[in-house]
Amino acid sequence: MANITVRRDNESRTLAPQIPMWEPRFEPLRMMRELMGWDPFREMTAFPLTATSSFAPAFEIKESRDGYSFKADVPGVREQDLDITLTGNRLTVSGKRESDKLEQSDTYYAAERTYGSFFRSFTLPEGIDANSMHADVRDGVLTLNVRKVPEALPRHIPVGSAAPRKS
Q: What is the tens place of the pLDDT at every residue in 58-107? A: 999 999 988 999 999 999 899 999 999 999 889 999 999 988 777 778 88
The secondary structure of residue 16, as a DSSP letter, is S
The secondary structure of residue 17, as a DSSP letter, is -
H or E element that contains 107:
none
- Total domain count, the chain: 1
CATH code, 144: 2.60.40.790
Q: What is the tens place of the pLDDT at every residue in 25-50? A: 677 777 776 777 755 555 555 544 44
H or E element that contains 80:
none
Answer yes or no: is 14 within a domain.
Answer: no
Answer yes or no: is 37 within a domain.
Answer: no
Domain housing 79: 59-152
Answer yes or no: is 91 within a domain.
Answer: yes
| pLDDT band at residue 2 using 50, 70 and 90 as cut-offs | low
Please check whether residue 82 is in contact with residue 93, taking contact to mean a CB–CB distance below 8 angstroms. yes
Answer yes or no: is 161 within a domain.
Answer: no
Q: Where are the beta strands (DSSP E) in 55-105?
A: 59-63, 67-73, 82-87, 90-97
- Which is more confidently placed, 5 or 113? 113
Answer yes or no: is 74 within a domain.
Answer: yes
Answer yes or no: is 68 within a domain.
Answer: yes
| pLDDT band at residue 121 using 50, 70 and 90 as cut-offs | very high
Answer yes or no: is 88 within a domain.
Answer: yes
d(CA 17, CA 130): 88
Answer yes or no: is 159 within a domain.
Answer: no
